[in-house]
Amino acid sequence: MSGHSTYQPQSPFMQWMERRLPIVSLVYSSFIAYPTPRNLNYWWTFGGILSFMLGVQIVTGIVLAMHYTPHVDYAFNSVESIMRDVNYGWLLRYLHANGAAFFFVAVYAHIARGMYYGSYKEPREVLWILGVILFLLMVVTGFMGYVLPWGQMSFWAATVITNLFSALPGVGEPIVTWLWGGYAVGNPTLNRFYSLHYLLPFVIAGVVMLHIWALHMVGQNNPTGVEPKTDKDILAFTPYATAKDAFFVGVFCLFYAWFVFYLPNYLGHSDNYIMANPGQTPTHIVPEWYYLPFYAILRAIPSKLLGVTALASSIIILAFLPWLDTSRVRSANYRPLYRQFLLIFFAAVIGLGYLGSQEPSGGYVIAARILTVYYFGFFLVILPLLGLFEKTKPLPNSISEAVLSGGRT
C-alpha cells in the first residue's frame, strides 16, 4: 500500500535504539500502521479475542499451577483447596475452566468466519494451515487440562481418548502403554499430562506468532473477498481495527463473565466433582462440549479403527480446504449455492454436537451417520464440484465500491 506510513524515531534515544533493535518500528508497522480492509465486520474481531483469551488462560493457569498438586492421591483435593483456601482461588479456577470453553467459542467463530468468506484461499493457504495446527494444539491442550482435576470424567475421558490409539494395528497397544507410562491411566499419566498442559500453551503462543506473521505477509481477507486495490480500500490498524476489536472484546467478556460468576459449573459435568475411581465407570462418558461433534463422528462408525480414522480426518481435512474448494470466488456472499451448503454444514456440526452428548443408540446413531456423511461429503464432494458448476454473483470492482454503493458488507 502506498499510503502505508512508517515509523520515524524523533528522540535521539529512539534513533539510537532504532539502529540497533528496530522493535518499536516493528510494533508500529504491525499493530499501528498495518493496513486493514475498511469493510471488516465484527466476525473479524475473533482473532483479537483469541489472543486475549490465550493471555487469560496463561496468566490464570500459571497462578493455578502454583497451588495444584499433580498426583493421583492429591490432585482432586488440591483443586478443592484452591476453591476453598486460596485467596480468590475459586475465581482463578472458574476463569480458567470457563476460559477454555470460551476460547473454543472464539476459535469456532474464527474458523466459521474463515470458511464463510473463503479466507483460506490463495495466497492465504499457509496462514490457514497454521490456524488448523493451532486448533489441533488447542484440542490437545484442552483435553489434557480437563484431566488434571482428576474427577471421574477426567479419568474416564483420559482412558477413552488414549485408548483410541489402541485401534492402530500392531503398534496400537505399545503406543497406549507408552502414552500412559504404565499399564493403565495412573500417576505417570497425570504427571506427563500436567507437564504437557503447561508446555503446549507456549507452543500455541509461538505458532500464533507465525500465524500473525503469515497474516501480515498476505493481508487480511474481507467480506467481499476482493483484495484492496487503492488507499480508499484500507484503513490503518490503529485506531480503526483496534477500536473495533476492543469493543467486541468487551462484549465477549460480558458473556464470559456471566458464566464465570453465575453459571460456573454449567459447562462442566457434575460427575467431575466425584474423585477419579478406576473401579467405577460412569453411566455415560461424555467429553467437554467443544469436542462433542468429533465424538459423535467417532461413535457413528461401528468399526473402532475406522471411527478413529474418521475422528482424526474430520480435523485434518480442514488443512486441505484451500485445495478442496475449487472456486475462484472467495466470499460466500457472492456464492449463493456454497452459502446454502455451508450453512447446512454449520447446522450439521451443531447437530453432531447434540448427538455427541446423547447415548449412542437407535435413531441417534442413524442421525449421527447422516450428519457424518454430510460432514465429509461437504469437503470431498460438494466443495470440489461446486467450484466447477456454481454460477457466482458479479464481484464488485473494489472494496470501496462495494461499501459506497451501500451493498451489504
Partner 1 sequence: MISRRIITAFALAVSLAATAMQTAAAEDAPPRQKWSFAGPFGIYDQAQLQRGFKIYKEVCSTCHSIKLLAFRNLAEPGGPGFTEAQATAIASEFQVTDGPNDQGQMFQRPGTLADHFPPPFPNDQAARAALGGKLPPDMSVLAKARGYEWGFPQFIIDAFIDYQEDGPDYIHAILNGYTAPPAGFALPPGGQYNKYFPTGAIGMPKPLSDGQVEYTDGTPTTVDQYGRDVAAFLMWAAEPTLDARKRLGFQVMIFLIVLTGLLYFTKKKVWHDVHHPELTGSQPPA
Among 341, 350, 395, 409, binds partner 1 (CB under 8 A): 341
Residue 37 DSSP SS3: strand
Q: Which of residues 82-111 bind partner 1 (CB under 8 A)?
A: 83-84, 90-91, 94
Among 195, 265, 303, 326, binds partner 1 (CB under 8 A): 265
The rounded distance, in Å, linking the Cα atoms of 151 and 397 is 57
Among 200, 337, 350, 380, binds partner 1 (CB under 8 A): 337
Q: CB of residue 111 vs partner 1: minimum separation in angstroms?
A: 22
- Listed ranges 106-114, 185-193, 232-240, 317-325: which one lies at the site for partner 1 (CB under 8 A): 232-240
Contact between 201 and 58 under an 8 Å Cβ cutoff? The reply is yes
Pick the closer one to partner 1 by CB: 135 or 291.
291
Pick the closer one to partner 1 by CB: 165 or 376.
376
- Listed ranges 49-57, 173-181, 304-312, 339-347: which one lies at the site for partner 1 (CB under 8 A): 339-347
When asked if residue 235 is in the footprint of partner 1 (CB under 8 A), the reply is: yes
- Residue 153 phi, psi dihedral angles, 5° rounding: -70, -35
Which long-range contacts (C-beta less than 8 Å, at least 24 apart) are formed by 302-311? 304/164, 304/167, 305/167, 305/168, 305/169, 307/167, 308/164, 308/165, 308/167, 308/168, 310/372, 310/376, 311/164
Q: CB of residue 262 vs partner 1: minimum separation in angstroms?
A: 5
Binding mask 33-52 for partner 1 (x = CB under 8 A): --x--x--------------
Among 32, 58, 63, 370, binds partner 1 (CB under 8 A): 370
| Cα separation of the two ends of the chain | 22
Which residue type does 164 have? L
The rounded distance, in Å, linking the Cα atoms of 184 and 156 is 11
When asked if residue 271 is in the footprint of partner 1 (CB under 8 A), the reply is: yes
Q: Which of residues 125-184 bind partner 1 (CB under 8 A)?
A: none
When asked if residue 210 is in the footprint of partner 1 (CB under 8 A), the reply is: no
- Buried/exposed 316-335: b ≥16 CB within 10 Å, e otherwise: ebbbbbbebbebebbbbbbb
The rounded distance, in Å, linking the Cα atoms of 21 and 194 is 37
Contact between 271 and 152 under an 8 Å Cβ cutoff? The reply is yes
When asked if residue 388 is in the footprint of partner 1 (CB under 8 A), the reply is: no
Contact between 123 and 49 under an 8 Å Cβ cutoff? The reply is no
When asked if residue 385 is in the footprint of partner 1 (CB under 8 A), the reply is: no
Pick the closer one to partner 1 by CB: 39 or 221.
39
Pick the closer one to partner 1 by CB: 55 or 239.
239
When asked if residue 317 is in the footprint of partner 1 (CB under 8 A), the reply is: no
Locate all alpha helices (DSSP H) within 75-186, ordered by sequence. 75-84, 89-116, 125-147, 152-163, 172-180
How many other C-beta atoms are found inside a 10 Å radius of the C-beta of residue 170?
7
Among 243, 306, 316, 385, binds partner 1 (CB under 8 A): 243
- Measure the CA angle with vertex 15, ends 12 and 16; round to 5°: 85
Half-sphere exposure of 65 (CA within 13 A, CB side): 15
The rounded distance, in Å, linking the Cα atoms of 295 and 11 is 58
- Listed ranges 63-71, 102-110, 245-253, 322-330: which one lies at the site for partner 1 (CB under 8 A): 245-253
Query: For residue 236, is it left (φ>0), alpha (ψ between -120 and 50) or beta?
Result: beta
When asked if residue 361 is in the footprint of partner 1 (CB under 8 A), the reply is: yes
- Listed ranges 186-194, 208-216, 250-258, 296-304: which one lies at the site for partner 1 (CB under 8 A): 250-258
Among 62, 246, 306, 316, binds partner 1 (CB under 8 A): 246
Cα 161–chain centre separation: 19
Cell of 318: 480442514
When asked if residue 359 is in the footprint of partner 1 (CB under 8 A), the reply is: yes
- Listed ranges 54-62, 123-131, 164-172, 370-378: which one lies at the site for partner 1 (CB under 8 A): 370-378
When asked if residue 261 is in the footprint of partner 1 (CB under 8 A), the reply is: yes
* Chain positions contacting partner 1, by CB under 8 A: 1, 3-5, 35, 38, 77, 80, 83-84, 90-91, 94, 231-232, 234-236, 239-240, 243-244, 246-247, 250-251, 253-254, 257-258, 260-266, 270-271, 273-274, 283, 336-337, 340-341, 344, 351, 354, 359, 361-364, 366-367, 370-371, 374
